[in-house]
Structures are given as C-alpha cells and as structure tokens.
Amino acid sequence: MSKLGTLGARLYRGEVGYDFVGKRKIWYGISILITITAIVGLAVRGLTMGIEFEGGAAFTTPKTSMSAAQAESAAEAASGHDAIAQKLGDGTIRITIGGIDTGKSDQIKKELAKDLKVDANTINADLVGPSWGETIAKKAWTGLIVFMILVVIYLAIAFEWRMALAALVALIHDLTITVGIYALVGFEVTPGTVIGLLTILGYSLYDTVVVFDGLKEGQKGITKQTRVTYSEMANKSLNGTLVRSINTTVVALLPVAGLLFIGGGVLGAGMLNDISLSLFVGLAAGAYSSIFIATPLVADLKETMPEMKALKKRVLAKRAAAAAKGETEEPQDDSPLDEDDDPQTAGAVVGQRRQPSRNNRGKRR
C-alpha cells in the first residue's frame, strides 16, 4: 500500500507518466472485444424485463422453507409463463410473472398457495397492466435519449464538437457494456435499473469533463511551440487527473459493492440488485472509458486537423535534428524556451521530469 501511495504521489506531481494516448490502439481493441461480447450476450439471452415494463404480476409469499427454484417451478406451472423467484432476507419469496392477464391473478394465487402450503390470503399480489408497462418503457427511453442530446449540446458549447462526440462514444460504450452484463447475469430490468443507468452515465461524464477541461487549457497556443504534439499534451492532462479518477472511482465502488454483494447476495434483498448492478458495472466502465476511450479519441480527432498535422511534423523534425546533433530528444523543463515555444505548454513531456538543480547558496559568501 505504501508503494502504491508513493506511486500515486509521484504520478500526481508529474514525476512519472504513462503513455495512455500513445497506446490507444490496444485500448480500442480491448473495448471493441468487450463491446462485442456484451452485444452477443444481449442478442443471445436478451433482457429480462420487469413487470413494470411488460406488465404482469408480482407475488410475495409469507415465510416459507421452499427454495426459490421450487417456487419458480410452481409459479410457471400455475401460470403457464416464465417466472422469476427471489428468496428475500426475511424468508419470504418474491415471484414475478410477466405477460400474464392480471385477471388470472386470483387463480394463480390459489395454485401457488396449494404448492407452498399456505393460505392464499397471505400471498400479496402487485398487478401491472400491459398498457401502463408500455407507457413506463417509453418514458424510460425518452429520458435516456433526452439525456444524451442535452449532454452532447452542452459539451459542444462548453468545449467543442470533437470532445462532445468522444464523450458520446464513451457513454454509448458504458451503456452497451452495462446492458450486456445485465443480459448475461439475467437480472430484471426495472425502473431502478434506469435510474442506475442515468446515474452512472452522469458519473462517467464527470471524469471525462475533468480531463477535457485540462485539454481545453493545454491546447491554448499549442500550435505556437514545437516541443509536444497534441497527443502528448492530451496524455499529460490525462496523467494529471489519473490519481483523482482512480480514487473517486474506488471510493464510489465500495458502497455499491456492499449493496450488490452483501445486500443483494448475502442478505437476500433482491430489490437492491437491479440498481446496484447497474451502478457497479457502470462506474467501472465509466472510469475505464474516460481514461482509455474518450481522451485518446479526442486526440485522434484533433490530429486530423491541418494545423495539428503541421505541428506534429514540426515537432518530429525538431527532434530529428536534435538527434542528428547528438542532443537529447526532449529538452528539460528548466531549459530556456525557444522563441516559438509557448509557456503554457512547454515541458508537457510524457515521462519522468527532472527538477531544476538547487543553487548552492550559502557555501560562498
């Protein structure tokens, strides 16, 4: 832990740096592989929609010794539809059956009561009509689309359209991975899931906007110098916020992990699974995308601009000339600036920085 803390401090001070942007093809490949896996899982298994979206009934039994698998089989036999049963922490069982006629709920309750050997009046039923579920589904999609549109408009105004596009790609990446894992795990998609998705998309944007703000400041006057390319400047900005991104993500993941694994798994509070899984997966995917997707994508888009291409040629030409003369490829931070160097971007070099030597004051009077 002490070594990790020391590394984080050095990274924060800029004494070391990691070339995230330079190795972007590796991250792109990993992201494409994960996204394809999520899409395949979604296509093969599909989403298990809750009754709030497709209509149906949710039955809560009294405390029983019957297992969730047995209750699920009994519910499917009584209704003729697929059912999902969850054992709750107090010994009761929650059984959801989607796509059934709500008028048959009393009959299903009687059949369940026989199988569970309890009084039918002790089984609580929550009914949702198909028209109401369809309305909820439309509102959920509308909210998600409006959120995306507003985010793109804001980022395009606050920064530029290239950063807005990169942030949108990162959001779609996070959303696809989260939905794909939901399909693979088989958890129900409920209104809590939608709330969780909107929450993690906002959190993902937080990390992305912090890095973009650094890019916006760093790119001022960047074409007036010949020390760094745009990608190198972007990588320096990313390294400067890396420790904060990791710390905030870990701190946010710990309580969410408690909800998911302890609340939903150990204590059996199944209603926590829908929101906690989306938060857990989304927070991790959002931290990944802000570091490995959004910033490298901005660098790719910016370096298609003619002025950035010309800057890259000048930087490489200067380094080649310095190498031919036997000089160091990159000047140190305490070396004097060239006449075409800009003070705001000078010294934005990936890698270890050397501190200026201290003056030997006091030795001679």
pLDDT 10s digits, 226-267: 888 888 888 888 887 787 778 888 888 888 888 777 766 555
The Cα–Cα gap between 108 and 213 comes to 58
**Contact criterion met (CB below 8 Å) for 223 and 303:** no
State whether residue 186 is helix, strand or coil: coil
Cα angle for residues 160, 228, 317 (degrees, 5° grid): 120
| CATH 3.30.70.3400 placement within the chain | 56-128
Q: Sign of the C-alpha dihedral, residues 303, 308, 310, 314?
A: negative
- Split at pLDDT 50, 70, 90, the class of 296 is very high
pTM of the entire structure? 0.72
| CATH 1.20.1640.10 placement within the chain | 2-49+132-306
- The answer as to CATH 3.40.50.150 being correct for domain 2-49+132-306 is no
Higher pLDDT, 294 or 86: 294
Higher pLDDT, 326 or 170: 170
pLDDT given at position 33: 93
pLDDT given at position 130: 65
pLDDT given at position 360: 47
- Split at pLDDT 50, 70, 90, the class of 165 is very high
Distances (CA, A) of 336 to 339, 343, 347, 351, 358: 9, 10, 11, 19, 17
Within 10 A of 177 (CB to CB), how many other CB atoms are there? Answer: 23
CATH class of the domain defined by 56-128 = alpha beta
Average pLDDT over residues 325-337: 50
Which tens digit of pLDDT belongs to each residue from 42-81? Answer: 888 888 777 777 777 888 888 877 777 888 888 888 777 7
**Res. 106: pLDDT tops 60:** yes
pLDDT given at position 301: 92
Q: Where does residue 29 rank: exposed (0-12), middle (13-18), buried (19+ CB within 10 A)? A: exposed
The Cα–Cα gap between 95 and 72 comes to 7
